[in-house]
Amino acid sequence: MLTPGNKSALATTIEQRNPYSFVNADAPMQGMTLAADWQSHIEESAYTNAAVSFRGMMRSYEKAFRFPYTYCDAHGNIVKEYVIIAYEGASGE
C-alpha cells in the first residue's frame, strides 16, 4: 500500500515528467490540471498478453487505465491529453 508521502511523490513525478507542459525553454512549467471529477473519466482495459515496445524492448501488460488532464500550450490553447498507467508482467515475467 502506498503511504501518503509516496502518493504525493507519485503525483509530483507524473506532473514533472509531463512532456507537454512547457510553453518554451525559458518559461516556467504550466502545470497539469485534472477535472474535479477526473476519477469518473477513467477508462480501463484488461488484456490477454498485450505487448508494447518500450525503450527498444517488448513489454507485456495485463491491464492499463488512462485518465484525462489538460494543459495550456505555447499558443494559449487548453489541450486535453491522457496519462496512461499500465501494469507490466502479463506473461509472468
What torsion, rounded to 10 degrees, do the Cα atoms 70, 73, 77, 78 define?
Answer: 0
Say if residues 23 and 74 touch (Cβ distance below 8 Å).
yes
What would the pLDDT profile of 23-57 be if each residue is shown by its tens digit? 455 555 566 777 788 888 888 887 666 788 888 88
At 90 the pLDDT is 58
Q: What is the pTM of this model?
A: 0.65
Average pLDDT score over residue span 60-89:
83
pLDDT of 21? 56
All three cell numbers of 37, joined, read: 471529477
Helices (H), 1-93: 4-16
**Amino acid at residue number 85:** I
Task: Report the pLDDT averaged over residues 59-71.
Answer: 84
The answer to whether 2 touches 10, Cβ cutoff 8 Å, is yes
Domain residue limits, the chain? 4-88
